[in-house]
A and B are shown apart, each in its own frame.
Chain A
Amino acid sequence: DAGVIQSPRHEVTEMGQEVTLRCKPISGHNSLFWYRQTMMRGLELLIYFNNNVPIDDSGMPEDRFSAKMPNASFSTLKIQPSEPRDSAVYFCASSSRQGAPTDTQYFGPGTRLTVL
């Protein structure tokens, strides 16, 4: 299995530009999570989906952030417009619920976003 795939691995953009981060979960997993990691705040859950439906987006910082999961094999996290304080590493993770509330989450390698 290829694991969770994220693209791009690095993104440098200017303030005000739109940024789209992409994630392909592990095949067969039905839960998908977007996290943000910064030195100041550590690792924070932004939003998660179950069976392609957003379950909890309370961690999304502002309306500038949006996430979609159009099908079981693809999700996007979009920031529009981007700001320097959005600079962070964004991780996508997936898990297979298998009837249990929580199972091990498998993380992608992350996208390092720098907003100038």
Chain B
Amino acid sequence: KQEVTQIPAALSVPEGENLVLNCSFTDSAIYNLQWFRQDPGKGLTSLLLIQSSQREQTSGRLNASLDKSSGRSTLYIAASQPGDSATYLCAVSPGEKLTFGTGTRLTIIP
């Protein structure tokens, strides 16, 4: 059974700093990995999707990497802003079913 872990569960950093969120998974037979953002009381918003054949994806200040062989992914956020405060979840899939991690709650301190 696929297990997805995100450490740390919570992270606070001063505004302007670069930061890295981590995601690890136990079964490397995945089709893709996605990073989502969840704001309090809201649904999830997809940030980046990395196909298994890719090593990274970039969108603005966000960069996600994928190392299937080691079962790891990172989400790099450059020049953090207070608006980046949210819970970030990664999810892996062998197909249409997503298995989610428990998330990292990120707080950017102004």
State the A residues within 8 Å of B (CB): 4, 31, 33, 42-45, 48, 50, 55-56, 91, 93, 95, 97, 101-102, 104-110
Q: What are 17 residue pairs bridging A and B, where the CB atoms are less than 8 Å apart in the complex? A: A31-B96, A33-B98, A42-B102, A43-B44, A43-B100, A45-B99, A48-B96, A91-B44, A95-B96, A101-B31, A101-B93, A101-B96, A102-B32, A102-B96, A106-B46, A107-B36, A108-B43
B102: A residues at CB distance < 8 A: 42
- Are A109 and B42 in contact (CB-based, < 8 A)? yes
Q: Which residue of A is nearest B43, CB measured?
A: A107
Contact A104:B46 (CB < 8 A) given known A42-B102, A42-B103, A43-B89: yes
Chain A residues, Cβ within 8 Å of B103: 42
Asked whether, in the complex, the Cβ of B89 is within 8 Å of the Cβ of A110, the reply is no
Q: Separation in Å of the B103 CB from the closest CB of chain A?
A: 7
* A44: nearest chain-B partner, CB-CB: B100
In the complex the two chains form, is B95's CB within 8 Å of A101's CB? yes
A4-B43, A43-B89, A104-B46 known; 4 new pairs, CB 8 Å cut-off, are A33-B96, A42-B101, A45-B99, A109-B43
Interchain CB contact under 8 A, B44 and A102:
no
**A107 to B36, alpha carbons, bound, how many Å?**
10
What separation, in Å, do the CA atoms of A20 and B63 have in the docked complex?
40
Contacts of B99 in A (CB 8 A): 45
B34 at the interface (CB under 8 A from A): yes
A48: chain B residues within 8 A (beta carbon) = 96-97
